[in-house]
Every structure is written in C-alpha cells, then in structure tokens.
Structure 1
C-alpha cells in the first residue's frame, strides 16, 4: 500500500513550466504523493505517463487547473466549489470503500482530461489525472483510484501522523 504524503497545491504547469498560484488561506488543496519528493506526486507522474501528443490536450490540462484555481478563489468555504461548476464539469465519479465506510470520489473534466479528487473535512486532495478513454471507468482505472483513495485515508485526518505528512 502507498504510504501517503501531501503537498499543498500552489503551482500550475507541472511537471515543467511551473508558475505559482495563490489560494485563499481558508482553502486547503493538497496533492497526493508516494514520498516526500515532489517528483513522486501522482499528478506529475500521471501527466508524464499519458504523454499527451495533442497540443489541445496539453492546453486542456493547464486550463483545467487554471479554472479550478480561479473557482476556488471565489469560495469562502471549500464546499462552495459545487456552486461554481455545473454537474457535467464536477460530479461524483466513484465510491471507494475504506474500512467499511464509503468515500466519495469526484471528478472534474475539461475536454478529454479528468482530475479525480476527494474531500477530507475542509480540505481537497487531488490524486489522479487521466485522459478520458471511455464513458465508464474501467476496472484497471478503478483499481488505481481505489488504491490512491485508501492511501489518502490511511491515517486518521485528525491524527498527528496525518499532519506530519503534510509537506
């Protein structure tokens, strides 16, 4: 199982051509990583693995994150994000069972790019970036999503173990 670490989301343009973003202090957005190295942030790995050949897809990745940052800037609390997206852009995509409890997985779409995320209290965790291949999530994609969601919830969010993993 993945031993999770969490980096505060504060840049767009990964893994290269990074430029900073500034979110309101009360909006906490993290990216899941398998180590304390930024190179192991799953979004970065996902982005390089699917190596988009289309310049349109490349631009859509940047647009997706720029749009998310813009919408989060308008939120007073994190849950207001649902007010700024319509249900075709941000919606429940999957449910992962973690220790007998259902954890909702959400997806933001931009053209053929999908960003998967979960909410933990007043924080959002971004954990998967993938191109859309089919309308339904296939079995291998569900396995990746489930593994990462279970890693996110490995440590109780109110515990010191979870807090030391915020980098």
Structure 2
C-alpha cells in the first residue's frame, strides 16, 4: 500500500506536535473569580497536590497561582515539578493535560490561563507473588538503582499566563 498525501500530512502533523494545542482534558471556561478570593483550579490526587489561584488586583502581578500539598499524610504516586525548570514540550514526551481558563470578575477582559503538562512514567505496581502479595525487596531495588534501571513516575508541571487588557 502506497502512502497517500493525507497519510503523509497526518504523520507530519503528529511528528511536529501540531496536535499538542488540544489538551487531554476538555473543560469549559471556569466561573469568574473576584479579586483577592483564593480558588482551587484543579486537584491532582496522584501528586498529592492542588493548584490554587487568586487575582491580586496588582498591575505587576495580576494573578498568582501556587501548587499546594493536599495533606501531609498523602503518599504521592507522581511528582510535581516547576515548569520553568522542566520546560515541558511535546518534543520531550510531555502531553498537554489540561488548560484552565479563569476570567476575572472585576475585569471581564482579563483572564488567567493555567496549562497543566503531564509526562507519563513507566512505574507499575510489582507483580503479585505466589501468596497474592505485592512485595518489594530491598536487594532487588538496590541492584536496579545501581544499574540505573529504576522506573520513572509520572511527572506534572503547570505554567500560567494572563491574557487580555487590564481594567484600571
């Protein structure tokens, strides 16, 4: 079977990451938020984190967001890293997981856009032994670490931009 022009175009789009603009989670714009009111943007249970944002009303920093740990007792199964350090891109295996758009109640022309990126890991629970238990042995883990063959966990990163004109 010879490749058609459509097949070549589709392969080029996939290879160049042209489909990266569409996030994995499709959500509508959030409800407008008042200046000074902290609000949760999204929870990521596997990283024991939630994204929290707030319109500040300041010209220099109109919106502030932070990654907040959900509970000190939570055991994360994924990592959350700083997007400025990680520089997530589709070329490096990152997937645009979510795009959250939050308009300002005091200035409808301004909105904060938070993008959540996800880099899938290959970590999986250990296989069950003959007694039906998932066991991790220190010797096996130490040998894997020395051989630099530890499984990677899923990693998340979030970045934020403010769009629109300010209302002074």
TM-score (norm 2): 0.27
- The structure carrying a bigger helix percent of its residues is 1
The higher-RCO structure (CA 8 Å, 6+ apart) is: 1
**Bigger Rg, which one:** 2
